[in-house]
Amino acid sequence: MNATDKVYLVTGVTGGIGGATAAWLAKQGNKLILSGRNQAKLDEAATKIAKVAASQTQIKTVAMDVTDEDSVIAGMDKAFAAFGKVDCLINIPGMSIPGKIAETELDSYRKMIDVNVTSVFLTAKHYVPKVDPEVGGQIINISSVAGKTANPAAPIYCTAKAAMNMLSAGLALQLKANNIRVSIVSPGATSTAGFWGDRPVPHDKFLKVDEVALVIGFVATLPQSIVLHDVVVEPWEFYRSK
């Protein structure tokens, strides 16, 4: 399968890493289904991505809330109808609400679990049965270094990403039978406005979204004969100074 035959479904394209990943793939000349939960924001992101796309790139959009099963069912139907198949599903949405346990609302806890973990369960649940094992498929889940090392600022986010890692590892084993490769990409701190909000963090020391997109794009475009299980990405200078 060459680059232009492969169909990618990228969720969370209205965010920093998702938008950059979709733009990276669009520059390669692929068939892209861009997804976000809000149609107006999604259209705005798709317009930006189309501007940097190679001439042969084809782009469709599918609005879907990845924490809502009915929305995922409808979204997955539309995604498969767009080009007749989805070769690679890239699960990007995630969020953190940092804070001390005693001050964390149950709603915040549930939101972190929903957006970081339930989303992967739901999209995988409704992607897998639609993949033809003769053709094969691929799932790439965006985790975080926070899923590997606890930190005191955001213990629930760390828990959610660790759970997502275990779900991905289980899927990787279970979906061998379906000819679906599963990979995790775990970035370190990355400069995005959505994730960090107005928290006072050293954006200049963080990974840039284009650097993370390069790695996700690399994993996504590997030949079908290779699987990368878990890729950890860190900014070199930040890593050196730790």
Ligand X SMILES: NC(=O)c1ccc[n+]([C@@H]2O[C@H](COP(=O)([O-])OP(=O)(O)OC[C@H]3O[C@@H](n4cnc5c(N)ncnc54)[C@H](OP(=O)(O)O)[C@@H]3O)[C@@H](O)[C@H]2O)c1
User: In terms of CB distance, is 4 or 70 closer to ligand X?
Assistant: 70
DSSP 169-197: HHHHHHTTTTTEEEEEEEE-SB--HHHHT
- Provide the pairing of β-strand 7-10 with 230-233: unpaired
* Closest CB 153 distance from ligand X, rounded Å: 12
In the residue annotation, 109 being an active-site residue is answered as no
In angstroms, rounded to a whole number, what is the distance separating the alpha carbons of residues 240 and 242? Answer: 6
User: In terms of CB distance, is 29 or 155 closer to ligand X?
Assistant: 155
Q: Please give the residue ranges that form the binding site for ligand X (CB under 6 A).
A: 12, 14-18, 36-38, 41, 65-67, 92-95, 115, 142, 144, 187, 189-190, 192, 194-195
Amino acid identity of residue 139, one-letter, is I
- What Cα–Cα distance (Å) separates residue 222 from each residue in 2, 38, 169, 173, 228? 10, 30, 19, 19, 9
User: In terms of CB distance, is 165 or 192 closer to ligand X?
Assistant: 192
User: In terms of CB distance, is 14 or 57 closer to ligand X?
Assistant: 14
In angstroms, rounded to a whole number, what is the distance separating the alpha carbons of residues 124 and 181? Answer: 12
Six-digit token string for 130:
């639609």
Catalytic hit among 8, 109, 127, 157: 157
* Closest CB 28 distance from ligand X, rounded Å: 20
Proportion of the chain in helix, strand, coil states, percent, rounded to 5: 50, 15, 35
* Closest CB 19 distance from ligand X, rounded Å: 8
Closest to 201 measured CA to CA, from 98, 79, 84: 98
* Closest CB 150 distance from ligand X, rounded Å: 15
Catalytic center residues? 157
